[in-house]
């Protein structure tokens, strides 16, 4: 029998009362991978099926999608140059059917409006003021202070849709806009509050003793506070309030892997506040791929 007939035959056995038969069916369907999801979703929409079938099918669909996230994030870690790709792979943990083209189009629309206002004559600060005016005033993006730890604030598609999010997701949007406008904006993995920094393109790393001004960042930007500008002294003060030492990594550019790992950390914390043990366990397993 062809693949479609095989899938249909296996689906009919999902509610078999024999656990061994169900395990065999589940293993076979799992091995067929993500491409069988449309077949399973079609079967799930059949209102005539019983509770056991519905429950097992929902669980099976989720497990197949989770396996796909494991596979894709593992491949991404090996070549993590594309930040948005890694972000959207994690996004598919909750929203497996998200439309990547729609997300790209929304970002590019913002970029188009920013580009209309940018020019080579502007200083770095003036260029940032342009992004801030477009992103926060024209489009109305803002930090979600009311429901700061809502897990939805860590899903990029949701943040684009509701136009508010946590510091990390707003920073990722800021980085993606800047990348498409050729502005050297990078992530700054500051404890408790993610920022972005405007990179000094003429900076040359020194081998001398640590100096907080020697990491090639002209100034810092806080997307959670509508793009407020911060300087090194203010980072010093923030670390002092947290009783943390001035470590080089708090002032310098972080990697795309650091950013995606922090998304996972935020999600695990958010779901822990909801006591969602199943999701926490799954996210921790994804997090182990980075170790």
pLDDT tens column, 189-220: 999 999 999 998 776 665 444 444 557 899 99
pTM of the predicted protein model = 0.91
Q: Which are the contacts of 268, defined by CB distance < 8 A and separation ≥ 6?
A: 280, 283, 284, 287
Q: What's the pLDDT at 2?
A: 54
SS3 assignment, position 191: coil
| C-beta pairs of 64-68 under 8 Å, 24+ apart in sequence | 64/29, 64/30, 64/33, 64/34, 64/36, 64/37, 64/40, 65/34, 65/37, 65/92, 65/93, 65/96, 66/93, 66/282, 67/30, 67/33, 68/33, 68/34, 68/92, 68/96
Q: What's the pLDDT at 54?
A: 85
Is the separation of the CB atoms in 76 and 85 below 8 Å? yes
| Chain CA centroid to CA 166, Å | 11
**What is the chain's Cα-based Rg?**
23
Query: Strand pairing partners for 221?
Result: 196, 229
Per DSSP, 208 falls in state S
Q: What's the pLDDT at 1?
A: 41
Is the separation of the CB atoms in 142 and 163 below 8 Å? yes
Q: What's the pLDDT at 114?
A: 98
Pick from 143, 248, 148, 146: which is nearest to 205 by CA? Answer: 248
Alpha-carbon distance 114 to 205, whole Å? 31
Is the separation of the CB atoms in 223 and 168 below 8 Å? no
Pick from 23, 224, 210: which is nearest to 142 by CA? Answer: 224
Identify the segments of the chain with pLDDT beneath 70: 1-2, 47-48, 203-214
């Amino acid at each position: 029998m062809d693949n479609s007939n095989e899938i249909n035959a296996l689906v009919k056995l999902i509610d078999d009362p024999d656990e061994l038969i169900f395990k065999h069916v589940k293993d076979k369907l799992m091995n067929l991978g993500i491409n069988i999801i449309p077949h399973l979703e079609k079967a799930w929409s059949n209102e005539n099926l019983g509770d056991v079938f519905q429950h097992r099918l929902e669980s099976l669909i989720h497990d197949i999608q989770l396996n796909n996230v494991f596979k894709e994030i593992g491949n991404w870690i090996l070549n993590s140059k594309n930040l948005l790709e890694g972000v959207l792979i994690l996004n598919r943990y909750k929203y497996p059917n998200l439309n990547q083209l729609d997300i790209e189009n929304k970002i590019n629309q913002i970029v188009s409006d920013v580009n209309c206002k940018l020019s080579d004559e502007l200083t770095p600060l003036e260029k940032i003021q342009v992004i801030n005016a477009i992103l926060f005033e024209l489009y109305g993006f803002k930090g979600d202070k009311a429901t700061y730890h809502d897990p939805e604030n860590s899903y990029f598609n949701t943040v684009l849709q509701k136009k508010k999010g946590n510091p990390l997701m707003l920073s990722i949007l800021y980085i993606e806009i800047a990348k498409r406008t050729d502005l050297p904006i990078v992530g700054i993995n500051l404890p408790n509050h993610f920022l972005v920094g405007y990179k000094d393109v003429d900076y040359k790393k020194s081998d001398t003793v640590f100096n907080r001004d020697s990491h090639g960042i002209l100034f810092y930007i806080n997307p959670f506070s509508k793009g407020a500008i911060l300087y090194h002294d203010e980072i010093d003060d923030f670390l002092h309030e947290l009783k943390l030492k001035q470590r080089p990594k708090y002032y310098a550019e972080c990697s795309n892997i650091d950013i995606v790992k922090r998304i996972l950390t935020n999600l695990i914390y958010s779901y822990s506040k909801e006591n969602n043990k199943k999701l926490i366990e799954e996210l921790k397993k994804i997090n182990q791929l980075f170790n």
